[in-house]
Amino acid sequence: AQKITQTQPGMFVQEKEAVTLDCTYDTSDPSYGLFWYKQPSSGEMIFLIYQGSYDQQNATEGRYSLNFQKARKSANLVISASQLGDSAMYFCAMREDGPKGANNLFFGTGTRLTVIP
Amino acid sequence: DGGITQSPKYLFRKEGQNVTLSCEQNLNHDAMYWYRQDPGQGLRLIYYSQIVNDFQKGDIAEGYSVSREKKESFPLTVTSAQKNPTAFYLCASSSMDRGRKTQYFGPGTRLLVL
């Protein structure tokens, strides 16, 4: 089974509007971390936001917020006030904090966001 | 500036040839990782290392080899045994201290087979 599922291959949003990118995950570990990365056309993966499984509040970083619904195993990224520079691929990833302690990430297939002027 | 550098940006491989991709970090991170990305796909883990002189296979290690002789460096060799090496290769590093252990990535190397 896929550990990370991103069901939206592509999304469009009007400039200055908000957009939600979906991510669901699958794990039996009680302790895990969820990450969102942005990949512009240059290829570099840029870290955006992190949510720990025990965090009581949803994470926020500037215009990025993470809508964490633990019971539904979802970790959707919300981008507010979209800008043209937000056009990129967005990847959701998960780290399982198992007994081995490895910091390996499992990635989804990504969502291509296009911001329309 | 602290960060992760990868070289070269583009690399061409001939049939039967081994090639080595460079990854250097000056973030004082203990752990380093190599990922492969194919078009329209997410990242898949090739190898990772949590400490100098030790490394572990990831999900797709066949046809690849690594070394970790220095904390700052984690080169990846794509051997002739890797039959489909054309891909985008990303190196990352992270702290292993308690907390987020966020992985930070380099700019990547695009490998093409001639």
SS3 content of chain B, % helix, strand, coil (to 5): 0, 50, 50
> Which residues touch A30 (CB under 8 Å, ≥6 apart)?
A53
* Nearest-by-CA chain A residue for B38: A109
Least CB–CB distance from A107: residue in B31, B43, B50: B43
- Count how many residues are written for chain B: 114
pLDDT value of position A100: 63
CB contact under 8 A, B48 and A102: yes
Tokens describing residue A15: 């400039």
CB contact under 8 A, B45 and A105: yes
pLDDT value of position A101: 61
Predicted confidence pLDDT, tens digits, chain A (117 residues): 679 999 999 999 999 999 999 999 999 888 899 999 999 999 999 999 999 999 989 999 999 999 999 999 999 999 999 999 999 999 999 998 876 667 789 999 999 999 999
pLDDT value of position A60: 97
* Nearest-by-CA chain A residue for B87: A43
Cα distance between residue A108 and residue B41, in whole Å: 8
Chain A closest-CA separation from residue B107 CA (Å): 5
Which amino acid is present at B82? Q
A68 touches chain B (CB under 8 A): no
A48 touches chain B (CB under 8 A): no
Cα distance between residue B84 and residue B40, in whole Å: 16
User: pLDDT digits over B7-35, tens only?
Assistant: 999 999 888 899 999 999 999 999 999 99
Contact at 8 Å (CB) between B53 and B67?
no
A41 touches chain B (CB under 8 A): no
A52 touches chain B (CB under 8 A): yes
Tokens describing residue B59: 């999900």
For β-strands A10-14 and A111-116, DSSP reports them as parallel
A89 touches chain B (CB under 8 A): no
Ranges of chain B with pLDDT below 70 = 1-2
CB contact under 8 A, A50 and B100: yes
